[in-house]
Amino acid sequence: MTTYSDRVEAVMRLAPVVPVLVIEDVAHAVPIAEALVAGGLPALEVTLRTPCALDVIKAMKTVPGATVGAGTVLSPSDMEKALDAGAEFLVSPGLTPALGEAALKADVPLLPGTANATDIMLALDMGFDRLKFFPAMAAGGPPALKAISAPLASAKFCPTGGVTPENAPQWLALDAVICVGGSWMVPKGTPDVAKIEADARIASKLGAA
């Protein structure tokens, strides 16, 4: 039987990098999603940081091959809006009991944010063992996660926050890391789809042995 954890992990295993997207104009949604998917990054995290984010999720869902999730999900109400827009997974910078319980009840994959051993233990207690490590570099970088995860071996992570193409291989080399999240592939402004696809292609091969 597939467990909740398996379903979260399935999203994390779609690619070594989950692009974290802050999209200001819904007209950019489809070209950006097409470029990322063509470059080999099918899991797309649309942050709920912009007024058009829910429309961006709806638009990106029309792109074949895209698995579209919502980021910056802070509450059950954010979760409901994201699910109504069609989000297939959720990412949060942290974890509250209200959000965790709502995600488990809705049976939707949630990557809750954790930054230290206590956060991780609270997440494990709630039933989450596939976690975001945030803010990954500011929270101590790969040495911190390596040390924290040693006694908490059931937890696996998507480090996000300050991850770059340069430091991603160090993260992906950790046993506790399944994938990383990062915003570098899609800078602000009018999208240069050829560059996004090229950067996605490079990102899609990060961590390959």
Ligand X SMILES: O=C(O)C(=O)C[C@H](O)[C@H](O)COP(=O)(O)O
Between 160 and 204, CB nearer to ligand X: 160
CB of 1 to ligand X, least distance (A): 31
Stretch that binds ligand X, among 2-10, 120-128, 181-189, 190-198 (CB under 6 A): 181-189
Q: How far is CA 197 from the centre of its chain?
A: 18
Contact 48, 82 (CB under 8 A): yes
- The closest alpha carbon to 2, from 95, 94, 130, belongs to 130
Residue 160 touching ligand X (CB under 6 A):
yes
Residues noted as catalytic: 45, 132
Applying CB under 6 A, among 162, 193, 201, 202 the residue interacting with ligand X is: 162
Copy the structure tokens of residue 159. 């480090």
Amino acid letter for position 189:
G
Q: Does 200 bind ligand X (CB under 6 A)?
A: no
Q: Establish if 114 lies at the interface with ligand X (CB under 6 A).
A: no
> Using CB under 6 A, which of 11, 15, 17, 20 touches ligand X?
20
Beta bridge partners of 132: 113, 158
Rounded to a whole number of angstroms, the minimum distance from the CB of residue 49 to ligand X is 6
Write out the two tokens for 161: 């926050």
CB count within 10 Å of CB 208 equals 8
d(Cα 14, Cα 102) in Å, to the nearest integer?
24
Binding-site member from 89, 128, 133, 134 for ligand X (CB under 6 A): 134
Binding residues for ligand X (CB under 6 A)? 20, 47, 49, 71-72, 91, 93, 134, 160-163, 181-183
